[in-house]
Chain A
Amino acid sequence: MMTNSGNKLTQGQFSFLPPLTDEQISKQIKYALKNNWAIGIEYTDDPHPRNTYWEMFGNPMFDLRDPAGILMEINNCRKIFSSHYVRVTAFDSTRGVESLKMSYIVNRPKKEPGFGLVRQEGEGRLVRYTIHSYATDKSEGERY
């Protein structure tokens, strides 16, 4: 986490940038809609750069024309899970792709305690390294 000041969780697009404004989010959504991708909103309080399984907030949204409706849902999710991570995903259902084309965080907890380096001593002089989020020491729902 040397390059990441402020202990921010970095995952998906734009995560090294300052938080996106609503207007910027709308433009990203517009781009996804233009490409006919289904948009989903997901949240979690289990931060890890490689935790990709987040909870869905409502159903994925298909057949929309305008970002306003999605922004409404995002704000809804932000209100309910104000101290969770919230991200927006865009799923491309084209045969052969069938996976996310976009994913970016739109809400973070106010205080992110960051990650600690954990050393596990193996056989001989072997040491395994991993990272551990200080937030996950508490149980789910009480982390932030």
Chain B
Amino acid sequence: MKAKVDSIILAYLAGVKMPKQTKKETTAGQVSVNLDAEFRKSNIHEVLDKLDRELIGLKPVKTRINETAALLLVDRVRKQLELSAGAPSLHMCFTGNPGTGKTTVALRISEILHRLGYVREGHLVSVTRDDLVGQYIGHTAPKTKEVIKKAMGGVLFIDEAYYLYKPENERDYGAESIEILLQIMENNREDLVVILAGYKDRMNKFFNSNPGMRSRIAHHIDFPDYGVDELLAIANLMLAEQNYKFSADGEKVFREYIQLRMKLEHFANARSMRNALDRARLRQANRLFAGNKKSLTKIDLMTLEPDDILASRVFQEGKLDDN
């Protein structure tokens, strides 16, 4: 039965139509549940669709999230049939380079968990080391607890979590914070979901020195870097959100820009795209202003031309822009 339920849910998540199931009593006296109704009631397909639409690429991440959602839905159905398996551990770890969408995915996850009833409020509290670790003895515990209390009923997202542990300083207060977190992650599993995020290699080092943390996190999700086409699609999506667009030539030039930019240092995937577009908008405004054209059309105001992008120092000198 479990295998059947799984296949149905996975099929739904893949968008395949399945014949409707109705609640019925089989000869063996086993009650079957209406998975279809359960799936629609939870409304998670909305969130999953949105995730699919708004996040370009990230195939492995999406697959993992779909699988997790399927597991949780099945778990909920199992609970209705009183097949208890204990509260599943939902703490996660997101690894990946900057700008690969970790925070955005965390936001969506909190929404999914909320719809499935695994967190009560579904809000996301995003913190870094500064918010958790105190500056003097006795400061850390209340500070960490304060943050945890705020995140209860939702998701606690700890960005660059490896900074919590500084092995070079044995008197560092980060260890105290980790200890409290571990305790909460174990005892208040139904109140709070913790997501740790950071670069892959440094997170691995962090987990190696904190085996307790590793064993309490069930889901490790790795965010791959984007390719050129994906970055271009992301840029187009960002522009569309702000009511801009590339001209046909502009898009070609921007593709070249991406290829050049990727080779330079401090490349932060989608975040670099956002910054590049912000600078292009600045140049477009200047171009329109300097152009002295009497009347501008709506199209003029919306379109980014090749000149707006070619002015970047990435093209001129092969260096990063200052601003």
Are A66's CB and B148's CB within 8 A? no
What's the interface size class on B, roughly?
10 to 19
Residues of A within 8 A of B121 (CB): 65-66
Number of A-B contacts (CB under 8 A): 36
Residues of A within 8 A of B123 (CB): 65
CB of A102 within 8 Å of the partner chain: no
Are A64's CB and B152's CB within 8 A? yes
Residues of B within 8 A of A64 (CB): 149-150, 152
Q: With A61-B149, A72-B149 known to touch, is A66 a contact of B188 (CB < 8 Å)?
A: no
Q: With A61-B149, A72-B188, A73-B149 known to touch, is A66 a contact of B142 (CB < 8 Å)?
A: no
Residues of A within 8 A of B152 (CB): 64-66, 68-69, 72
Are B191's CB and A68's CB within 8 A? yes
- Bound CA span A47–B149, Å: 30
From residue 56 to 85 of chain A, which have CB atoms closer than 8 A to chain B?
Answer: 58-59, 61, 63-70, 72-73
Q: Interface SS of chain B: helix, strand, loop or mixed?
A: loop
Contact code string A112-134 (vs B, CB < 8 Å = 1, else 0): 00000000000000000000000
- Bound CA span A67–B120, Å: 10
From residue 143 to 198 of chain B, which have CB atoms closer than 8 A to chain A?
Answer: 148-150, 152-154, 188, 191-192
Are A70's CB and B149's CB within 8 A? yes
Residues of B within 8 A of A69 (CB): 148-150, 152, 191
Min Cβ gap A25→B in Å is 15
Residues of A within 8 A of B149 (CB): 61, 64, 69-70, 72-73
List chain A positions with a Cβ less than 8 A from chain B: 58-59, 61, 63-70, 72-73
21 intermolecular pairs with C-beta atoms under 8 Å apart: A58-B142, A61-B149, A63-B150, A64-B150, A64-B152, A65-B121, A65-B123, A65-B152, A65-B153, A65-B154, A66-B120, A66-B121, A66-B152, A66-B153, A66-B154, A68-B153, A68-B191, A69-B149, A69-B150, A72-B152, A72-B188
List chain B positions with a Cβ less than 8 A from chain A: 120-121, 123, 142, 148-150, 152-154, 188, 191-192
